């Protein structure tokens, strides 16, 4: 075995040992604070080029947390690892769909839908069209904005999946409402200008 091969073997062994340590740290983490600390360390290692994809399922198990800071870290990890790995992207589907239906937090719904756009692949697009369509009629404007952006990304990844889904109808209704709101806002601005000129005008 050459010196180069020896060096590569040692690096792989060290990497595997590091993966084991992180995995055990995730198991030992008893609360969100400890979990955040471990996931932050993993993301820092990932940012330096280290392959931490083996921890994908371990991180995915934390998705049910109600801690927003931890959930955002998880989304960062999932997005970075699933973008170029179709099998890992498929593993995200159920967890993201659950978060997109979260009743208590608009931030969680919006972030989940935004992440769908980031991890979308030809194999996952059809699973995301339903949640994104619901996002377009969400009561929160930020969720609707994220859904509209995500819809465009899904269309770019796999046009057929969007065209053959309920998302098309939802998009048409969304843009109609946007146009109505724009017209209403335009009318109100015109009313204000007339009122400033001491002209009486009533706008409904």
pTM over 0.85: no
Q: Considering the domain boundaries, does residue 87 fall inside one?
A: no
Output Rg (C-alpha) for the chain, integer angstroms: 23
Closest-CA residue to 144 (of 126, 161, 162, 131) = 131
Task: State whether 96 and 34 are in the same domain.
Answer: no
User: Helix crossing, 86-100 with 125-135: angle to 10°?
Assistant: 20
Structural domain total, the chain: 2
Residue ranges making up the domain that contains 1: 1-82
Q: Give the tens place of pLDDT for each residue, 84-129.
A: 788 888 999 999 999 999 999 999 999 999 999 999 999 999 999 9
Burial class (CB in 10 A: 0-12, 13-18, 19+), 130: middle
Same domain, 168 and 106: yes
- Residue 182 placed within a domain: yes
Q: Which two tokens stand for residue 53?
A: 């994809």
Same domain, 70 and 110: no
**pLDDT cut 70: percent of the chain above it:** 84
Distance CA(188)–CA(181), nearest Å, equals 10
18 with 54, same domain: the answer is yes
Pairwise pLDDT comparison (108 vs 6), residue with the higher score? 108
Together in a domain, 148 and 199: yes
**Nearest-CA neighbor of 78 among 63, 98, 97?**
63
């Amino acid at each position: 075995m050459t010196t180069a091969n020896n060096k590569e073997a040692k690096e792989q062994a060290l990497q595997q040992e590091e993966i084991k340590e992180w995995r055990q740290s995730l198991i030992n983490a008893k609360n969100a604070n400890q979990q955040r600390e471990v996931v932050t360390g993993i993301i820092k290692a990932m940012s330096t080029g280290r392959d931490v994809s083996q921890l994908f399922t371990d991180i995915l198990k934390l998705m049910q947390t109600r801690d927003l800071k931890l959930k955002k870290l998880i989304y960062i990890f999932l997005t970075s690892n699933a973008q170029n790995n179709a099998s890992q992207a498929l593993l995200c589907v159920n967890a993201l769909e659950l978060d997109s239906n979260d009743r208590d937090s608009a931030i969680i719904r919006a972030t989940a839908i935004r992440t769908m756009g980031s991890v979308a692949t030809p194999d996952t697009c059809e699973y995301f069209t339903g949640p994104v369509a619901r996002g377009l009629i969400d009561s929160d404007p930020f969720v609707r904005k994220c859904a509209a952006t995500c819809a465009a990304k899904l269309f770019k990844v796999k046009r057929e999946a969007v065209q053959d889904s309920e998302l098309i109808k939802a998009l048409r209704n969304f843009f109609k409402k946007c146009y109505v709101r724009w017209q209403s806002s335009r009318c109100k601005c015109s009313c204000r200008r007339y009122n400033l000129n001491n002209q009486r005008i009533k706008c409904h």
